[in-house]
Amino acid sequence: MNVSMYKYITVNKRISDKGEVMNKLEKAMNYIQNNKQKINNKYRMSFHVIPTIGWMNDPNGFSYYKGEYHLFYQYHPYSSEWGPPHWGHVKSKDLVKWDHLPIAIAPDMPYDSDGCFSGSAIEHDEKLYLMYTGHLDPTKKPEDIRQVQNIAVSSDGINFEKIKENPVIGTNMLPKDAKPQDFRDPKLWKKGDMFYVVIGSRNIDNSGQILLYKSKDLINWEFVNTIARSSNKIGEMWECPDMFEIGEKNILIVSSQFMKSEGDRFNNLHSSIYLIGKLNYEKGEFEHEGYYEIDHGFDFYAPQTLIDCKGRRIMIAWMNMWGQRWPTHENNHGWNGAMTLPRVVELKGNKLIFIPIEEIKNYRTNGYYVEETITNDFLLLPFRSFSLEIETIIDVSNATRAGFRLCKGKKEETLLYFDRNENKVVLDRSDSGEGPGGVRKTTPNIKDNKLKLRIFIDRSSVEVFINDGEQTMTALIYPSDESNHYEIFADGTAKFSIIKWDIRV
């Protein structure tokens, strides 16, 4: 541990020793129990992970342990605004129906007193290990912030104990070109007999980079190398990294801050991207070509993956975006934040595809099927719901525009359609209700003049899977209670084949 880090830990320890900091874990749990009934349920989702009360952001510790899926997340229970994060915790047997568990860790130690930032989990010796970033902000000056990596362990997957060796990776283990203020979000995995972790970092030139460390026991770590850099060309700070294998390829995922827009790509404040290549474990070098946006909508950030007992690589992400104001902020709803529907990740050629988990089909009910041909007109569909799935194939051979008006009311609608003149799928939430508007577009791979869409609506969210997951578009919307109608429309002639199910969880 370097001298400056010791200074911050010592200062915080004195505060704790004086009894001025109570048991933060107990305090948070008491607050949740006493206030969870006070939230406004208007926009709450039914088949997505949302907080009981308070603020939720990045998924953490997404893991499969003792026959169940565990998901942790950045959590501030005391308001719908971000605050010093705890780790919230849910678990599930099928990735659809989730049980809320006690908070796993709180910022209650000298090395994490200003926040337990993001991290990951891994099973070892039948125990579940969490590795997370401890955030220290002792003077409230940006230059004095320090971030270190810590371990907490559980034998039951519910109760966690922080180990005495923390921090296991301190700022003294950074390469010379890395800033100690931005060193966060460790993602663990094991290969052979060795544990590895990638950690997001900021170079002294303010660009993002990913650091690789290795260990035999999860406690004693050795720096390997800087495996990838943004060089201020692929955004700025790289955070929330994930590294995994599919076949013979290594995939690196990063959440890149302040990426510059490129046409229809990278139009949010921050972007989640993936790079495909090959990792040389001995040299710590990652050779890759190109980079690709994961989701082409509005609200998708900090994705994390696991591999489950079926061998599936599954991704989940924070369904939100920094820099926005939401109705659940403004109108005292008492909560904010959600996770995406989990998605299976597969490699198709040289691109990733993202497919909704198969388990969601177990919650389908009230099926409805229709085939319609629309010519310069619209058709109101005979169902009303805020919790549904739609599968459709649209023949756009003779249409200039064709698609859906989702969550439609007297003055509200969310538009999803194909524009032949632009050759784009368009998601337009300009009139979706409360909350920010905007338009996002992406270029689909149209085959035989047919577009295949799979659409999930869950009260305040829309998730679109294009052509079996070749592209996805995710958005938050906040329509009024009466805007639960659905229409199809066409400029020119389009043929629609539609299957709809309600989703009941």
- Residue numbers annotated as active site: 58
**Would you say 180 and 171 are in contact if contact means Cβ atoms under 8 Å apart?**
yes
HEC readout, 422-462: CCEEEEEEEECCECCCCEEEECCCCECCEEEEEEEEECCEE
- 3 state SS of 159: coil
E strand or H helix that includes residue 6 = helix 3-17
d(CA 408, CA 462): 13
Instruction: Lay out the sheet containing 161-162: strands in order across.
Output: 116-124, 127-136, 146-154, 161-162
E strand or H helix that includes residue 5 = helix 3-17
- Chain-centroid distance, C-alpha 56: 11
Sign of CA dihedral 332, 334, 337, 338: negative
- List, as own/partner pairs, every contact residues 38-43 make where C-beta atoms lie below 8 angstroms and the sequence separation is at least 24, other chains included: 38/334, 39/333, 39/334, 39/335, 40/328, 40/331, 40/332, 40/333, 40/334, 42/333, 42/481, 43/327, 43/328, 43/333, 43/459, 43/460, 43/478
